[in-house]
Structures are given as C-alpha cells and as structure tokens.
Amino acid sequence: MDETVLARIKIVLVRPLGALNVGSVARVMKNMGLTELILVEPQCDHLGEEARKMAVHALDVLERAGIVESIPEALVGCQRAIATSARSRHLSVVPENPRTALPWLFGGDSSALIFGPEDKGLSNEDLKYAQRFVQIPSSPAYPSLNLAQAVAVCCYELYQNCLENPEVAQLEEKADVDTAAAIDALEHYYQQLETLLLKIGYLYPHTVDSRMTKFRLLFNRAQPSANEVAMLKGILSQMEWALSNLH
C-alpha cells in the first residue's frame, strides 16, 4: 500500500490537556501510517516524560509536531478539513459516520482531521473552520470517547480504507487537487466578505457571528475551486472600490 496519501493528512489536536493522550495519539498515528501532528494551543508538555512514555517508538512524530496558536494556522495549505464531535453543535449540520466520510480527505493535496480538548470537545467557534463533521458511533449509555481512543478509531478507518481501496485513494488524489481552494484562501475571503457586509449594513455587530456561520456552511458545501474563490474576492474588491468612489 502506498502510504503517501496518509502522510498528507494532518491530525490536529485543539487545546489538548493531557500529555499522556498526546503521546498515545503520536503512537497510534505511526501505527496507522500518519505522520503529521499539529497541536493548537497545547495545555500540556507534549515533549515531557509522560508524553514520551506513551509514544514509545513514535517519538519522531511527537518531536516533529507543529505548535500553532489557532486553528486557521493549523489549516494553512489544507484543502479539506473534517472536525470530530461527540454531539451535533452546528445548526443544520448532521455529523457523518467516520467510515463513510473520512476517505473524502484523500482528495486534498493536504487535509486535516480536527479533534477537540478532552473536557469539552470542539466549540462552535472551532467547528466553523471545518467543511464536514463526523461522530463516532458509540453506546448511548456512555458515548464519550477518550481523545486518544477517538483518534485511534479515525486513523484506523483511514488506514483500512487505503488497504481495501488503494485505487480509490489514488483516484481521489488526482480528482481535484489542482483546483480545490485552500482553506486559508477561503478564510481570507470570509474576512473580506464580513468587512464589506458590515460596511453596507447587511450584517450588524450583534448578528455577525451567526450570519457568517451560515455563509461558511454554504461555501464549504460548495467546495469552490481556487479560481472561483479568486473570482469571488475580485467581485468584493470591485464593490469596495465602487463604494469608496460614490459621490
């Protein structure tokens, strides 16, 4: 099996609390052929004794882990991102089963799978950066999984899909890698759109977050190409120019 498609998927841990969990995540990533770990505002020592003890032979994954201050920074260069959630917190969004949704990540030149902190999971603010959402099926008697367990389940599903469908990963890889817009390019567009809509009075400060969440969901579903995002940004720039030249 060609594991290069797995190596292009980032595992992003947002504000992880426990070094033991981070070390365990590094280990299971290496077990399943994933190598890129990104920590967003880690609340623990990811290079300390506890993390190293759990990583065992995956110290290389742990030591190469990227440390960033925000989710957008973690997603720079990514074209696809899936967030995990124990429950649906996003209006109008139904979480999918990891087995059916995660192979979609193979379609990006760089993709990300995002996990929240152990105590609260991902917030609505965190979730808005993802294009799709997954929920791991579990017993209603105790549905909450440990962070490292959740990462293990998802990494296993990705690895298993590569084993069973190597041609699917290859086809996905070639499908739209040249045309899909990077998430950070979309983020710049959202910021430009928000500024303009506030200026013309379509958005108000007290409604901006909820309205922009709906715009994000709309464009994330559409998955515009890089050229399409450039066109949309050009329209906004022309509108800004026209507004500034009104007499």
Q: Can you say whether the dihedral through the CA atoms of 112, 117, 118, 119 is positive or negative?
A: negative
pLDDT digit string, tens, across residues 150-199: 999 999 999 999 888 766 555 444 444 447 788 999 999 999 999 999 99
Rounded distance between C-alpha atoms, residue 223 and residue 242, angstroms: 28
What length does the chain have?
247
User: What residue ranges define each of the domains in the chain, with the CATH number in brackets?
Assistant: 4-175 (3.40.1280.10), 183-244 (1.10.8.590)
pTM here is 0.86
pLDDT digit string, tens, across residues 98-125: 999 999 999 888 999 999 999 889 998 8
Contact 125, 41 (CB under 8 A): no
Could you tell me whether strands 36-40 and 9-14 are parallel, antiparallel, or unpaired per DSSP bridges?
parallel
To the nearest whole percent, how much of the chain has pLDDT over 70?
Answer: 90
In order of 24, 151, 192, the CA distances from 84 in angstroms are 18, 9, 28
Identify the band that residue 1 occupies on the pLDDT scale cut at 50, 70 and 90: low
Termini Cα distance of the chain: 64
Per-residue model confidence (pLDDT) at position 86: 65
pLDDT digit string, tens, across residues 27-57: 999 999 999 999 999 999 999 999 999 999 9
Which carries the bigger pLDDT value, residue 95 or residue 113?
113
Write out the two tokens for 122.
Answer: 């991902």
Per-residue model confidence (pLDDT) at position 171: 47
